[in-house]
A and B are shown apart, each in its own frame.
Chain A
């Protein structure tokens, strides 16, 4: 139904149906007035439909190739897997925004930001689930007056140290409880260090202004605020999730796993390589332990780096963060987090494993 809408908007230039379909977002943006008079353009509409038939046929033939099918399956799998967690996260974020007064957080967290950072990091234990849930929650925490440094420590630690993920790690590495401990400590250390780094080096100007929620307005219904905030955050973050999923699927299909063996020999290179792989593959944090366990050719430290970096930085998270906090933030924060996470896992893994 929205297809016909788009056609009508773009029908000023009736050359090809395919062109019009591609130009959807920009056309939609300027759609204010002419949307209502679309029946007047019906001959053009008919033409556009006739032209788009062959175009769709060619497109679908291309989509049926094995590589494209695998790409679609993986992209859709990442999206479907993450959607419930994203809904949970955006619902929580909406609820925090509409129902929880700001004074609750100031009472729960230590007043001094330096102390609030590790406390918020440890508090990540309470949010079970994938990393997609933590981005909107961290965003609403900032909106409710929590110092950004503490919110970012929470953002980084929550997907890595919650009970679901730690249990999965224990199952994936039977007989190696030190791997679970190393993952817990390295993730906490990274989250705390990143929080402190933000405290001393971070600038609020890197965050995009819209990051601050208004919170509850006295004259509005809380339930309505919750619903509108929830819906807005979900649609917004969901779009970025799809973008990230498509990027991850591209790497997943384009880079065969057999390439991995080339890098497993050198200990330092293998740590860096698995960290890069964690960013590109965007496996959800509940499953990455099993993937790490299957990378048998690599050293334990490299596999630890895979599990520490993965929940904190990956393609879909970078997309989500860019959408929520702004691109300037996402680039700097993800780069710094990657470096800190690799260093922490090398240090802690070197001692424990």
Chain B
């Protein structure tokens, strides 16, 4: 790989990272919010590297001693040397993420991934605070699932609740899944939380909705035999949240 191309690659990679983390929210489709400062720093570093490379390349030969060495010492591959002026062809692959971040970023993971994965296991919780008196109660999908399957006081039974997520079509005839995808490091370790919605027509996959309804009876409430399911009363389309990979409370 020629040096001008190395400069292009470094600058494009730097710009791609900055574009995804500093100028837009693109990086939230791939990694955690907490990675942002590191991505910005990496982007700046890559830009600096690219500019430094371009600058040292542009300098007319003879202006300082190093450029003479550049042609003599650095191009020279000796027996145990490591030629720094050429970069193996594999580096071409770095153009893919750089250009993809800049011009052709894929969307956040959605219904396709959720439909193919078993739902995330809910962590065990012994004690539940009483549900607030407001109606409908805003809950996250995880909270709803653990209330239904673990709360021995069965507070959730008969209460009207409200949750937000995206639509994942179900294989069976009846109902669909209200879904959230969450991850701990990057989208490669994505897991899904699902609540089955009954009594409402399914919207197209990946539509973000807020659903209000009551628990769909089945099994024994407060044990793992109870299904995480909801009889929907209203289903309302909402805007996709900026950070789609959190199991957050509905906003309204």
Q: Hey, which bits of chain A sit against chain B, CB under 8 A? A: 1-2, 24-25, 28-29, 31, 60, 63, 66-67, 69-70, 72-81, 83-84, 87, 91, 143, 209-210, 212-214, 217, 219-221, 224, 227-232, 234-236, 238-240, 242-243, 248-249, 252-253, 256-258, 260-261, 281-284, 286-288, 290-291, 294, 296, 323
Contact = CB atoms under 8 A, between A and B. Distances in A.
B84 A232 contact: yes
Contacts of B31: 77, 80-81
Given A76-B30, A84-B41, A323 B109 contact: no
A189 B95 CA distance: 39
B8 A287 contact: no
B84 A229 contact: yes
A80 B106 CA distance: 13
30 contacts: A1-B8, A28-B89, A66-B110, A66-B111, A69-B106, A70-B113, A74-B109, A76-B30, A78-B188, A79-B97, A80-B20, A80-B27, A80-B186, A81-B185, A83-B97, A84-B41, A213-B82, A214-B80, A217-B73, A220-B69, A228-B74, A235-B91, A239-B94, A242-B97, A252-B188, A258-B116, A260-B118, A281-B189, A283-B188, A283-B189
Contact of B185 (A143, A219, A231, A286): A286
A290 B185 contact: yes
B161 interface: no
A209 B79 contact: yes
Interface of B: 1-2, 5-6, 8-10, 13, 17, 20, 27, 29-31, 35, 38-39, 41-42, 45-46, 49, 52-53, 56, 66, 69, 73-74, 79-85, 87-97, 100-101, 104-113, 116-118, 120-121, 183-189, 191
Contacts of A76: 30, 97, 100-101, 105-106
Nearest to A242: B93
A69 B107 contact: yes
Max chain B CB contacts within 10 Å: which of A232, A239, A243? A239
B90 A80 contact: no
Contacts of B52: 227
A231 B6 contact: yes
A330 to B, nearest CB: 14
B30 A258 contact: no
Contacts of A236: 87-88, 90-91
A213 B1 CA distance: 20
Sort A-B residue pairs by CB-CB distance and give the 4 closest, nearest first: A287-B185, A239-B90, A77-B187, A66-B112
Given A77-B30, A236-B87, A287 B186 contact: yes
Interface of A is mostly: helix
A257 to B, nearest CB: 5
A84 B109 contact: no
A143 B82 CA distance: 10
| Most chain B CB atoms below 10 A, which of A76, A78, A283 | A76
A81 B94 contact: no
Contacts of A29: 89
Contact of B38 (A84, A213, A220): A84
A287 B45 contact: no
B27 A290 contact: no
Contacts of A84: 35, 38-39, 41-42
B91 A238 contact: yes
Nearest to B41: A84
A82 to B, nearest CB: 8
A117 to B, nearest CB: 24
B189 A231 contact: no
A291 to B, nearest CB: 5
Nearest to A25: B89
Nearest to A67: B112
A31 B2 CA distance: 10
Most buried by A among B81, B93, B95: B93
A261 to B, nearest CB: 7
Interface centre among B49, B74, B85, B100 (most CB of A within 10 A): B49
A72 B93 contact: no
